[in-house]
Amino acid sequence: MANNNIIELVNVTKSFDGDIVLDHINLKIKDGEFITLLGPSGCGKTTTLRIIGGFLYPDSGSVFFDGKNITNVPPYKRHLNTVFQKYALFPFLNVYENVAFGLRIKKLPEAKIRAKVLEMLELVNLVGFEKRGVTALSGGQQQRVAIARALANEPDVLLLDEPLGALDLKLRKAMQIELKRIQQQADITFIYVTHDQEEALTMSDTIVVMNKGHIQQIGSPESVYNEPVNAFVADFIGESNQLDGIMLEDYRVEFNGRVYQCVDKGFAKREPIEVVIRPEDLKLCRPEEGNIVGVVKSCVFMGANFSIEVEQGDYTWTAHSIHYAQPGDTIGLYLEPDAIHIMKEFDNDDAYPDDPEEELLPPEEEEEK
C-alpha cells in the first residue's frame, strides 16, 4: 500500500449479547507511532485492542495489517504481540524460558535464542534475572518480562492492554518513561490501552479518545487537551469548567450572565452551546481587573499549585494558580478570549464523526444494522 498505515480498522462493529460495544469504528494507525486508546471503562478500547490482536472477531467490518486483510486470521499467525493486563507470564517457566517461548515455537537454533533473549533482557533492564522464577518477581519486573517476551518475537506492532494498571504510582511513572524509551529503541508501533488520561498524555504520539463504542477524537496529546472536540473529551482529559452558554453571534458568547469575546465562529445565531474552560486558563487578579468576579470558597494546596474554588452566582469555578487565595475574599478571574472553548451541545454522544480526517459519516449510516 502506498500509505504507511500499519493497521487499519474499517467499519468495525462488535456486540456482546446484543449490547453494541463498538459501533462502526474507523481507525488508521501509522507505522512507528505510539498510539493510545483512551476512555472510561466500557468505552470499547480493550475490545478494539483484542480485535486487532485477533482474540475477538468483529461482527462486521475489516481489520487490515500492512494493507492485508487479517480480519479472520488467528492470533498465532499475526505479526503482532500483546502485553496482557496481568502480564500472563507462564508460571512454570523461568524468566529466560518465558522470553524464549516464542523463539522456541519458531524453532530457532539455541545460540540465536540465547542472543535474542539476552538482548531483550538488556532492553528491559533485567540482565541477571534469567534463572529467576517469574512468580517471585515484583509487579514491575513481571511487567518487563512480559514486554521482553512480546518483543523477542520482533513484532511490527506491540499491543499493550493497561499494562501499568497493577503498579503503584511511582513505579507507574518510571515505567511510562521506560515504555516510551523501549518504543523508540525498538522502533515499532505501540498500541496502548488505558483509562488514565495522564498516562496517555505523557507517552503518546497520538491519542484516540473513545466513549460508548465510538471514537470521539483523534489527535496529538496537545491538540486533544487544548482543542477538545466536545464536552466529553474536555471532561475526560484533564479538569475543566463546563457550563451552558449561548452563541450570540460570531466571536460573541454569553454564559453565566455575561457576554465574552471568543475566537469561535460559524454557529447559528443564539445557538445554545457548551463552554469549556481549563482551570489553569483562569488567571487570578484583583476584582476590578477580572471578567469574572466571585467569592473564594476554598483553596487547596495540590503540590505544584493551589486549586481554588470561586463562587459566582450559581456557578462555582475551579481555577489553578501558584498563588494562594484567602477563602471568603472577593477576587477576580481573568479569561482570555482564546481560553474559551465552545462546543456544540453534548446531547447525543453518537453524533460525532469517528475520525475528523475521514469524510463525515452521515448519521443514517451509523444507525444501520
Q: Contact residues for another protein (CB under 8 A)?
A: 53-55, 74-76, 81-82, 84-86, 88-92, 94, 101-102, 105-106, 133, 149-150, 153
Smaller CB distance to another protein: residue 86 or 283?
Answer: 86
Shortest Cβ 4–another protein spacing (Å): 24
Smaller CB distance to another protein: residue 98 or 176?
Answer: 98
CB-based burial, 25-49: b 16+ in 10 Å, e otherwise:
bbbbbeebbbbbbbbeeebbbbbbb
Residue labelled with grid coordinates 482551570: 279
The Cα-based distances of 29 to 10, 66, 196, 206 in angstroms read 12, 10, 20, 9
Smaller CB distance to another protein: residue 161 or 264?
Answer: 161
Smaller CB distance to another protein: residue 133 or 287?
Answer: 133
Smaller CB distance to another protein: residue 76 or 301?
Answer: 76
DSSP per-residue letters across 220-274:
-HHHHHHS-SSHHHHHHSS--EEEEEEEEETTEEEETTEEEE-S---PPTTEEEE
Shortest Cβ 157–another protein spacing (Å): 12
Q: Say whether 50 sits in a helix, a strand or coil.
A: helix
Shortest Cβ 68–another protein spacing (Å): 17
Say if residues 37 and 45 touch (Cβ distance below 8 Å).
yes
Say if residues 201 and 219 touch (Cβ distance below 8 Å).
no
Dihedral sign for Cα 95, 99, 102, 108, please.
negative
Rounded Cα–Cα distance for residues 292 and 96 (Å): 62
Identify the CA nearest to 122 among candidates 95, 93, 89: 95
Shortest Cβ 196–another protein spacing (Å): 21
Shortest Cβ 132–another protein spacing (Å): 10
Shortest Cβ 96–another protein spacing (Å): 10
Smaller CB distance to another protein: residue 91 or 362?
Answer: 91
